[in-house]
């Protein structure tokens, strides 16, 4: 008899159930970056969760106070290294608003094109990692094929695949070679759409995927507003807030596109919003290439910029949500205060609410839908 | 929807500062939470909260949006010797991490915050990195 | 029907399996990077070892990471005695190249410089007043373009 065994017998007699705390990360194979999660578990159910962040804190806000405005662009690239052009653009917009710098027409079109291209690459990266989170290796490898192709364009035109340092106050660094633009146009019009169709065939209709995502971690618009959630996560709850429409910048108001929303608010809705956003972004980039007027790409700005005293806050729709730059200038060549309102930081702070009550295997499915970048959260 | 800034500011013994690029409501810290409460009831949502070290004082700056495109800055000024202010967490639960970050980086205590601990720096770190009195290693060597 | 989506996914992977390879077979086939790629910093110099740099220090002062160390000739301040690049600190941002008024700086597309010793990452472009082998040889002595038109004051 099993009860006769001394150890098992004793355990059974005074066994009590109690919750345990599980530390996931910061070095966990399925974590995105160095993110640490303390989960309080009862069996497999998550009772409470506490994210621990800061492992990638590089003090960018402090470092920026010791650099000139142009040198800060290098740091800005390294905030969210998956959507670099969005960061640079938001920062440029803040400085341009503060120092009242005009941007030439063609530069606005170029910026819009790059921002939308980078949105595609960022969402491709997210698509791959969602596959990984749910235990499938194929999507990540497939997603990197179109991503690499777009990166090749970035490298050929801006000089770097990941850290372009391409936008300048009052424009962009240099104009793009028309031949490159032509090749990109051909790629976006056909091959990228084929690849996205392929991904839809691979994952979107997959019954196992659907049953794991449907109804998972639901969130309402009111909750999202209260927790400060923005971007595709917010639009997946039915909100139509999209800063590209609400506070028009660039040439978004001249393009023919629509903001993608979904009303279900669950993990599947977040997935579907991002998948559709990729197509919209590709469409916008195509329109930019077609309609871009010729002209100057850069206004002349002093190499060492001294914006007038004052402060500015600019909100920008980055790939993950509302990216804010709060710059305080004291009239010197270096920013007095350099603050980044990072979208992923706010989105991840909703994680404890989202995963309370879920099963531990669902945790990564929820976490993947947030699309975080630790470099931007920790700064 | 727009908010009548002057009326809101007057009701909380503050003033409206229109010199900057965005209008700002500056209130004393006693009415900081009431101001947020009143705005939140009017349908305003928050975007950001941070601090600016001005030497003798520390400004707590919150960015809120009255409508999709209308942006307001809320400010309160704290003297260096007493950096405490009411937490906005009861008004907007998403302020949780923003206030923890402001505490971590500037040492401002938010009264009523449920879990005011360091967030980006590790527990046991000494000093508040974004204060101007916190020097970088290179500056320490130079001075 | 349940399983339709799974079959469709399988057909996608099946098609890919028979399609062409997407990999860069790196050590066997080396990729040629586009000419704008910023990899390692180099300098233009004429065949007789005269670098185009006139030691104006713009690049040293504008570099965010103190990569560049220039020593001016005490007698002729328009001549650099030594120009050292600590590429281990370089972020490949391109600010130095963009701001050089004589278009002396350029980037090479040679990316194979992995090393076990950090010290070897520092290299000289000008040593003892002459351009070293790390420079790119050009025929001309004067800049292609007139001095950069951005204007404005110097970095400092
Ligand atoms: S900016 Fe150009 S000319 Fe001036 S020191 Fe540097 S390399 Fe020489
Ligand atoms: S590329 Fe950037 S970091 Fe490297 S030497 Fe030039 S300015 Fe400095």
Cβ-based neighbours of C30, under 8 Å, separated by 6 or more: none
**Chain A nearest C-alpha distance from B58 (Å):** 12
Residue A324, beta-bridge partner list? A315, A341
Q: Do A228 and B46 touch (CB under 8 A)?
A: yes
Residue A345 maps to which CATH number?
Answer: 1.10.645.10
Is B142 an interface residue toward A (CB < 8 Å)?
no
pLDDT at C145 > cutoff 70 = no
A200 three-class SS? helix
Task: Output the pLDDT for position C17.
Answer: 81
d(CA A92, CA A203): 37
Q: What is the DSSP letter of A188?
A: I
Provide the residue ranges of all domains of chain C, joining segments of one domain with +: 40-137
Cβ-based neighbours of C41, under 8 Å, separated by 6 or more: C67, C68, C85, C87, C90, C96, C97, C105, C106, C107, C108, C125
d(CA B114, CA A120): 39
Is A67 an interface residue toward C (CB < 8 Å)?
yes
Assess if residue A243 is contained within a domain. yes
User: What CATH number labels C40-137?
Assistant: 3.30.70.3270
Over residues B72-125, the pLDDT tens digits come to: 888 888 888 888 888 888 888 888 888 888 888 888 888 888 888 888 888 888
Q: What is the DSSP letter of B120?
A: S
Nearest CA to ligand 1 atom 8: C53
The pLDDT-based confidence of C155 (bands split at 50, 70, 90) is: very low
Please report, to the nearest 10 degrees, the dihedral formed by the alpha carbons of residues C60, C62, C65, C66 taken in order: 20
Over residues A366-379, the pLDDT tens digits come to: 888 888 888 888 88
Which of A63, A310, A326 minimises the CB distance to B50? A326
Dihedral sign computed on CA atoms, order A278, A284, A289, A294: negative
Least confident of A295-299, B37-41, B80-84, C125-129: C125-129
Nearest residue of C to residue A198, measured between CA atoms: C12
Task: Output the pLDDT for position A6.
Answer: 52
Mean pLDDT over each residue of chain C, to the nearest integer: 78
DSSP track, A240-255 = ---HHHHS--TTGGGS
d(CA A195, CA A145): 9
Task: Output the pLDDT for position C146.
Answer: 44
* CB-CB neighbours of B18 under 10 Å: 11
Q: What's the order of all strands across the beta sheet hosting A337-341? A: A310-318, A321-329, A337-341
The pLDDT-based confidence of C151 (bands split at 50, 70, 90) is: very low
B142 three-class SS? helix
Assess if residue A13 is contained within a domain. no
Beta-strand relationship, A20-24 and C68-72: unpaired
State the CATH class of domain B5-142: alpha beta
Cβ-based neighbours of A93, under 8 Å, separated by 6 or more: A249, A314, A316, A325
C36 backbone φψ class: left, alpha, beta (φ>0; ψ -120 to 50): alpha
Is A220 an interface residue toward B (CB < 8 Å)?
no
Q: Take residue A132 and report the two structure tokens written for it.
A: 């990984």
ipTM of the complex: 0.85
Least confident of B96-100, B133-137, C87-91: B133-137
Q: Take residue A124 and report the two structure tokens written for it.
A: 């491709």
Q: Is C90 in the pocket of ligand 2 (CB under 6 A)?
A: yes
Contacts of A98 in chain B (CB under 8 A): 21
* A–B interface: beta-carbon pairs under 8 A: 85
Q: What is the DSSP letter of A202?
A: I
Contacts of C36 in chain A (CB under 8 A): 155-159
Q: What's the order of all strands across the beta sheet hosting B24-26? A: B15-17, B24-26, B71-79, B57-65, B45-53
* A–C interface: beta-carbon pairs under 8 A: 89
d(CA A172, CA A9): 74
Contacts of C107 in chain A (CB under 8 A): 159
Half-sphere exposure of A79 (CA within 13 A, CB side): 34
d(CA C92, CA C90): 6
d(CA A66, CA B81): 26
Q: Take residue C73 and report the two structure tokens written for it.
A: 């000739």
Task: Output the pLDDT for position A5.
Answer: 55
Total domains in chain A come to 1
Q: How far are the Cα atoms of A7, B15, B35 from residue B75, in angstroms, in the given order? A: 64, 10, 10
Half-sphere exposure of A124 (CA within 13 A, CB side): 26
Pocket test for ligand 1, best of C41, C45, C51, C57 (most atoms within 8 A of CB): C57
The pLDDT-based confidence of C152 (bands split at 50, 70, 90) is: very low
Task: Output the pLDDT for position B86.
Answer: 87
Rounded average pLDDT over C117-121 = 83
What stretches in chain A show pLDDT beneath 70?
1-16, 28-31
Provide the residue ranges of all domains of chain B, joining segments of one domain with +: 5-142
The residue segments making up the domain with residue A77 are: 20-378
d(CA A44, CA A49): 13
**Chain A nearest C-alpha distance from B30 (Å):** 23
Rounded average pLDDT over B125-134 = 82
d(CA A160, CA A167): 13
Contacts of A70 in chain C (CB under 8 A): 62, 95
- Are the C-beta atoms of residues B16 and B3 closer than 8 Å to each other? no
For the CA of C89, the nearest atom of ligand 2: 3
The pLDDT-based confidence of C57 (bands split at 50, 70, 90) is: confident
Entry pTM: 0.86
Residue B61, beta-bridge partner list? B50, B75
Q: What's the order of all strands across the beta sheet hosting C122-127? A: C68-72, C80-86, C122-127, C130-131
Pocket test for ligand 2, best of C53, C86, C96 (most atoms within 8 A of CB): C96
Rounded average pLDDT over C124-147 = 69
Is A206 an interface residue toward C (CB < 8 Å)?
yes
Nearest residue of A to residue B44, measured between CA atoms: A225
Phi, psi of A45 (to 5 degrees): -90, 135
Cβ-based neighbours of C132, under 8 Å, separated by 6 or more: C123, C124, C125, C126
Helices (H), A249-325: 267-291
Task: Output the pLDDT for position B7.
Answer: 76
More confident residue, B13 or C54: C54
* CB-CB neighbours of A96 under 10 Å: 20
Is A337 an interface residue toward B (CB < 8 Å)?
yes
The angle at the Cα of C72, spanning C67 to C77, to the nearest 5 degrees, equals 135
Is B71 an interface residue toward A (CB < 8 Å)?
yes
The pLDDT-based confidence of C86 (bands split at 50, 70, 90) is: confident
pLDDT at C128 > cutoff 70 = yes
Over residues A59-78, the pLDDT tens digits come to: 888 888 888 888 888 888 88
Q: Is C41 in the pocket of ligand 2 (CB under 6 A)?
A: yes
What do you get for the CA distance between the two ends of chain A, in Å?
59
Q: Do B48 and A337 touch (CB under 8 A)?
A: no
Cα of C31 from ligand 2 centre, angstroms:
24
Phi, psi of C17 (to 5 degrees): -65, -35
Contacts of C150 in chain A (CB under 8 A): 300-303
Contacts of C3 in chain A (CB under 8 A): 207
Cα of A271 from ligand 2 centre, angstroms:
39
If we measure between CA atoms, which residue out of C105, C104, C100, C107 comes closest to residue C150? C100
d(CA A104, CA A96): 12
Look-up of token digits 């010729």: A294
The pLDDT-based confidence of C154 (bands split at 50, 70, 90) is: very low
């Amino acid at each position: 008899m099993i009860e006769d065994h001394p150890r098992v017998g004793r355990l059974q007699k005074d066994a009590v159930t109690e919750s345990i705390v599980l530390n996931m990360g910061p070095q966990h194979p399925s974590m995105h970056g160095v993110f640490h999660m303390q989960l309080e578990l009862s069996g497999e159910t998550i009772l409470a969760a506490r994210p621990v962040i800061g492992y990638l804190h590089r003090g960018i806000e402090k470092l920026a106070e010791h650099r000139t405005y142009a040198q800060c662009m290098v740091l800005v690239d390294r905030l969210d290294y998956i959507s670099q052009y969005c960061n640079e653009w938001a920062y440029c917009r803040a400085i341009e608003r503060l120092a009242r710098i005009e941007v030439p027409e063609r530069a606005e079109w170029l910026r819009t094109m790059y921002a939308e291209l980078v949105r595609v690459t960022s969402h491709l990266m997210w698509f791959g990692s969602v596959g990984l989170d749910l235990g499938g290796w194929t999507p990540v490898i497939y997603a990197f094929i179109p991503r690499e192709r777009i990166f090749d364009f970035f490298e050929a035109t801006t000089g770097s695949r990941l850290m372009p340092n391409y936008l300048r106050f009052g424009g962009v660094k240099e104009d793009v070679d028309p031949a490159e633009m032509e090749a990109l146009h051909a790629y976006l019009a056909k091959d990228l759409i084929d690849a996205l169709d392929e991904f839809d065939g691979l994952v979107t209709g997959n019954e196992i995927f659907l049953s794991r995502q449907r109804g998972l971690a639901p969130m309402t618009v009111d909750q999202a507003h209260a927790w400060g959630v923005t971007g595709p996560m917010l639009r997946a709850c039915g909100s139509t807030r999209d800063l590209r429409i609400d506070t028009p910048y660039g040439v978004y108001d001249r393009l023919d596109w629509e903001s993608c929303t979904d009303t279900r608010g669950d993990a599947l809705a977040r997935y579907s919003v991002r998948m559709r956003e990729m197509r919209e972004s590709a469409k916008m980039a195509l329109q930019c290439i077609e309609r871009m007027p010729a002209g100057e790409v850069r206004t002349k700005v002093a190499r060492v910029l001294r914006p007038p005293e004052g402060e500015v806050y600019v909100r920008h729709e980055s790939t993950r949500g509302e990216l804010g730059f709060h710059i305080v200038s004291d009239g010197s060549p270096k920013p007095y205060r350099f603050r980044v309102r990072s979208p992923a930081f706010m989105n991840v702070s909703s994680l404890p609410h989202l995963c309370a009550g879920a099963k531990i295997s669902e945790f990564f499915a929820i976490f993947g839908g947030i699309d975080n970048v630790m470099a931007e959260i920790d700064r | 929807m727009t908010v009548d800034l002057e009326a809101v500011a007057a009701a909380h013994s503050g003033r409206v500062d229109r010199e900057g690029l965005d209008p700002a409501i500056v209130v004393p810290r006693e009415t900081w939470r009431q101001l947020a409460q009143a705005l939140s009831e009017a349908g305003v949502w928050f975007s950001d909260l941070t601090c600016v070290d001005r030497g003798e004082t520390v400004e707590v700056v919150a960015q809120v949006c009255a409508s999709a495109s209308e942006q307001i800055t809320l400010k309160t000024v704290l003297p260096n010797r007493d950096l405490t202010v009411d937490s906005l967490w009861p008004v907007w639960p998403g302020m949780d991490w923003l206030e923890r970050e402001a505490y971590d980086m500037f040492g401002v205590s938010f009264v009523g915050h449920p879990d005011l601990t360091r967030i980006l720096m590790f527990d046991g770190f000494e000093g508040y990195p974004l204060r101007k009195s916190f020097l970088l290693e290179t500056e320490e060597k130079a001075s | 029907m349940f399983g339709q989506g799974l079959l469709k996914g399988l057909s996608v992977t099946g098609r890919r399996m028979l399609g062409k390879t997407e990999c860069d077979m790196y050590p066997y086939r080396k990729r040629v990077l586009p000419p704008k790629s910023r990899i390692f910093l180099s300098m233009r110099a004429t065949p007789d070892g005269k670098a185009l740099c006139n030691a104006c220090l713009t690049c040293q002062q504008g570099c965010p990471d103190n990569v560049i160390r220039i020593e001016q000739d005490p007698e002729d301040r328009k001549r650099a005695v030594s120009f050292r690049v600590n590429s281990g600190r370089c972020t490949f941002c391109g600010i130095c190249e963009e701001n050089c008024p004589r278009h002396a700086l350029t980037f090479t597309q040679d990316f194979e410089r992995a090393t076990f010793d950090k010290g070897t990452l520092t290299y000289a472009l000008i040593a003892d007043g002459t351009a070293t082998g790390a420079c790119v040889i050009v025929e001309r002595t004067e800049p292609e373009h007139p001095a950069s038109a951005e204007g404005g004051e110097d970095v400092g």
